[in-house]
Amino acid sequence: MSDADVTPFGTGLQSREPSINNANVVAFGAVRPAIHELSHGTAERILQKGDPSPVSGTIASLLEHFFKGNLAISARDTAGVLIVRNTSGGLVKVVADGDATPLGGTMDLSSALGGTNQFAIKGSTVFFHAFISGGSATEAIFRTKAKGTLDSVAKPGDAAGGDLIQDFNGAGVWASGSKAVFKARLSSTSGLFIAAPGKPVTTIALIGDAAPGSVGETFASIGNVATGGSSVVFAADLQGGVPTTGLFAWKKGALTKIVLEGDPTPVGGTFLPFASTDVAAIATSGASAAFIAPVSGGSSGEGVFLFRKGTISTIVKAGDATPLGGTFEFLDIGSPLSLSGTTAVFEADLTGAGAALGLFNAKP
């Protein structure tokens, strides 16, 4: 089956893994990718494959979506890649392939937005990474506002970390207030940075820097990042011994530890390392941070935890009762996690309940 095939539910469906018997019968599921917004218990479909594009033709595929005060979606239509923002009047174009850049030349979003975390939104402001065709730079981090203003935040050759930015290597962009948080490769190292248009680039952390709270370990790589208010939280792999992973927070120039592998947990035992810091489930609301982590020797093998005012508490753990009956079996380490105040929104696998999988919110 291809997504162009006609089904009883129309075209544009994507098939799932088939089940084949010995009587020439194949059973399979099919889905139509779509973005929905859930508000006050009501789900509204915002965009799906096959919908009209605000730029050209129809939506061919959905890429990423982010919500922080507003919803933005990256997608591919018949002309290329675009970013749209949801408004009370419907979807509006933010930027698209071929648009002019403030550095000359035109946007090449198709080469930039195929990865993850390649754009972010805060209110009506969108930050994004794009390659440039025919400009004074080959790529840049940009900021665009609702009124249509487009500015460069950072580009190769800009000063950062006592060095010069070489490239962004598709490593990610996040929004922190009016500033962009991004990863970049320098001449001698790489790191995580924050900047606004026309302002110097500020270093959050560099590979090789000492990891706060550890005994001699240094940053080996920077993984997933979350932002909230003026706080930046990130997971990192460490080198030099144990711990091998940790979670850290940066705010107004101060870098501190949230948790390290081997730290005691509120469910007993100690925290195990993140399986992959690149997809670590982390979130921050500014004053607090939440994370999903595995546990060794505790009353549960994993949990959703809250860090606030220097203390870690449990939001929910595997084995707890669910609102649907049964218990939480797995808390889907690596799945997206959101935090509003001290309330976390998370995905979990269930056992003994009326469903196998659900999206929940909870607080300590």
Q: Tell me the per-residue pLDDT of 3-13, one tens digit each, with 9 for 90 and over.
A: 555 544 445 54
- 23-27, 138-142, 150-154: least confidently modelled range: 23-27
Of the pLDDT bands very low, low, confident and very high (cuts 50, 70, 90), residue 1 is very low
Amino acid 25: pLDDT: 56
Note the pLDDT tens digit of each residue in 213-223: 999 999 999 99
What pLDDT is recorded for position 110?
A: 86
| Amino acid, single-letter form, for residue 173 | V
**CA–CA gap between residue 361 and residue 364 (Å, rounded):** 11
Whole-angstrom Cα distance, residue 277 to residue 237?
7
Q: What is the pLDDT of residues 346-362, one digit of tens each?
A: 999 999 988 888 999 99
- The answer to whether residue 341 scores a pLDDT higher than 60 is yes
Closest CA to 130 of 190, 166, 81, 203: 81
pTM: 0.88
pLDDT band, very low/low/confident/very high, at 117 (cuts 50, 70, 90): confident
pLDDT at 66 (0 to 100):
86
- Looking at every residue in the chain, the average pLDDT score rounds to 89
Residue 9 pLDDT: 44
Is-contact 60 42, C-beta < 8 A? no
Sequence-ordered list of residues with C-beta below 8 angstroms from that of 90, at least 6 positions apart, any chain: none
